Amino acid sequence: MKTWKWVASASAVALTAALTVPAQADVSIDDIVNDAATAGDIVSNGIGPQGQRYSTLTKINKDNVSSLVPAWAMSLGGEKMRGQETQPLVKDGVMYITGSYSRAWAIDVSTGREIWQYDHRLPEGILPCCDVINRGGALFGDKFIFGTLDAKLVALNAKTGKVVWSKKIDDFKAGFSSTAAPLIVPSKAHGPILVTGVSGGEFGIVGRVEARKIDTGDIVWSRPTIEGHVGSLNGKPSTMTGKKNETWKGDLWKTGGGATWLGGTYDPDTKLIFIGTGNPGPWNSHMRPGDNRWSCSRLAIDPETGNIKWGFQTTPHDGWDYDGVNEVVSFDLNGTKAAATADRNGFFYVLNRENGKFIRGFPFVSKISWASGLDKNGRPKFNKDNYPGNPKDSKDGKKGKAVFAVPSFLGGKNWMPMAYNQGTKLFYVPSNEWGMDIHNEPVTYKKGAAYLGAGFTIKPIFDDHIGALKAVDPASGKVVWSVKSKTPLWGGVMTTAAGLVFYGTPEGDFKALDATSGKELWSFNTGSGIVGSPITWEQDGQQYLTIVSGWGGAVPLWGGEVAKTVAHLNQGGMVWTFKLPKTVAAN
């Protein structure tokens, strides 16, 4: 069984460099809602709250992208160089990033020099399941806000890095942590609110979504993601999630999982928050008969009340750890307000984002074994013989029948965000082709202990590749093109109006592809594996491109036989920013 123990940070300090800080205006809710349409800043995770990761910029294009050169690079320094999964934010000439071990920086984008650094003091005994990563922060007003591995939210003064407020999310000793970028959304009743989820699904916690006041961090509403639990609104109990024991038997809903560990997106058209929920607890499905709502689901939540407006469960009665947390991306499909999500379970789903109705679903990875397809409502057609066996059916009751299931529990797509191009009308999905030997074991809940009831080994299913960046057509269900990667893809994707797609590989190559054909147009090796998400923005008439490099994340920890393919890769922590030489940019 995997044991989690990480070295704590020694101090919680903001180190301010002796630099002239660019003049900064406060970030407004209009700035965030309209982020996708403004080229001069990136003030939301996803390059817009809808999560399309699409830039309207065209100065870097197919004709000149091959001439990109580094503008500057900055080291994150120290010994904490592992798993840099952040997406940077940029406002008025200042870049904000987070790093492994719950750290944050402000950087002058003109020079690449550090303005301030914040190191969060981490206690001994934190329990992150999947490395000491952090996926980014949120900007609002004069604050930069991010979550920490000991399950806290910290608001920093964006100009100085000093702590404005710090709030406990929950007990890290019970397995709670926070790694996702918070989401800022408008609310008529409460003003702009800070929306966060929780991590810890492997420890028997119960997932939830919370809205907080940005000025103080105080909770406005809370919505549990497992049926039977009651939410809160303005400090009072509100409504129950679902109906107690409707799809959970006995008391197992009390430790039901459903962690909201990736955070959410927001659609200004429907005024809904979309968020995914993780695996039910424990992994051993024979212990929890029923669909186990609302684990492995996508939920639409009303930002005014925290009530669930609709839910769509991608893997009912999950037996393979197919978390349903992957991002829900709003887009328009032939006049329909649609949303798309690429699930860990290997299927790509297109939903009506107004009501959650199923429009279409199809495989985006190969050799899916646990289901033969989806029915007219999007419910999987289970292959019953691909469930891991019940330990009670074995002679000694200690190990159920093992099966080989595809995809592996790390998913056809894991956390790494896809992108949608409004011009090509294609999604660009960082996917992985792998399977796993998996069996069930007996398990009993114990606070702070891994709550799995399963054993597993991940294996590749092809000789020549594991990762594949795929261009997916949501209208036809076809994979238009695929670019193979020998190692697993674990970083995010961005696309632009110039017909480009940017992504990185574990080998450290930051690449630009033709969005129509998948042809590689440019590559730069950053020195360490890329598991972060790229951004692009314009400043002083010039387009810039940034990626944070630094190998780590879940693959080297959980990857089984696949982990051997990346064992030689070096950890790191560098911020790389690129531009065109002026002689090229002028053409």
Distance CA 325, CA 276 (A): 4
User: Residue written as tokens 């202990």?
Assistant: 449
Distance CA 5, CA 445 (A): 19
Residue 26 appears among annotated catalytic residues? no
Distance CA 83, CA 101 (A): 9
Distance CA 471, CA 571 (A): 29
Residue 5's pLDDT is 39
Residue 81 — very low, low, confident or very high, per pLDDT cuts 50/70/90? confident
Six token digits for residue 258: 């459903």
CATH 1.20.1250.20 corresponds to the domain 13-71+84-585: no
Nearest CA-CA partner of 458 in 322, 318, 562? 562
Residue 427 — very low, low, confident or very high, per pLDDT cuts 50/70/90? very high
Six token digits for residue 337: 């307000």
Condensed to tens digits (0 to 9), the pLDDT of residues 567-586 reads: 999 899 999 999 999 875 55
CB 55 within 8 A of CB 495: yes
The residues that bridge with 539 in the sheet, in sequence order, are 542
Condensed to tens digits (0 to 9), the pLDDT of residues 99-152 reads: 999 999 999 999 999 999 999 999 999 998 889 999 999 999 999 999 999 999
Tell me the CB-side half-sphere exposure of residue 449, using CA atoms within 13 A.
Answer: 9
What sign for the dihedral angle of Cα 195, 103, 5, 166? negative
User: Where do the domains of the chain lie?
Assistant: 13-71+84-585
Q: Is the pLDDT of residue 9 over 60?
A: no
Q: Is the pLDDT of residue 514 over 60?
A: yes
Condensed to tens digits (0 to 9), the pLDDT of residues 234-275 reads: 999 999 999 999 999 999 999 999 999 999 999 999 999 999
CB atoms within 10 A of CB 181: 26
Question: Looking at residue 23, what DSSP letter applies?
Answer: P
CB atoms within 10 A of CB 377: 9
H-type alpha helices, 56-188: none
**To the nearest whole percent, how much of the chain has pLDDT over 90?**
90
The residues that bridge with 212 in the sheet, in sequence order, are 194, 219
Condensed to tens digits (0 to 9), the pLDDT of residues 437-493 reads: 999 999 999 999 999 999 999 999 999 999 999 999 999 999 999 999 999 999 999
Distance CA 89, CA 96 (A): 5
Residue 90 — very low, low, confident or very high, per pLDDT cuts 50/70/90? very high
Average pLDDT score over residue span 558-563: 86
H-type alpha helices, 177-264: none
Q: What are phi and psi of 401, to 5 degrees?
A: -60, 130
Residue 8 — very low, low, confident or very high, per pLDDT cuts 50/70/90? very low
Return the H-helix or E-strand segment holding 152. Answer: strand 152-157
Distance CA 364, CA 407 (A): 11
Q: Is the pLDDT of residue 97 over 90?
A: yes
User: Mean pLDDT, the chain, as a whole number?
Assistant: 94
Residue from 35, 267, 318, 321 carrying the catalytic annotation: 321
Residue 19's pLDDT is 54
CB atoms within 10 A of CB 70: 12
Distance CA 326, CA 296 (A): 10
**To the nearest whole percent, how much of the chain has pLDDT over 70?**
96
**CB contact set of 574 (below 8 Å; sequence gap of 6+):** 73, 74, 75, 76, 526, 527, 528, 548, 549, 550
Six token digits for residue 309: 């407006």
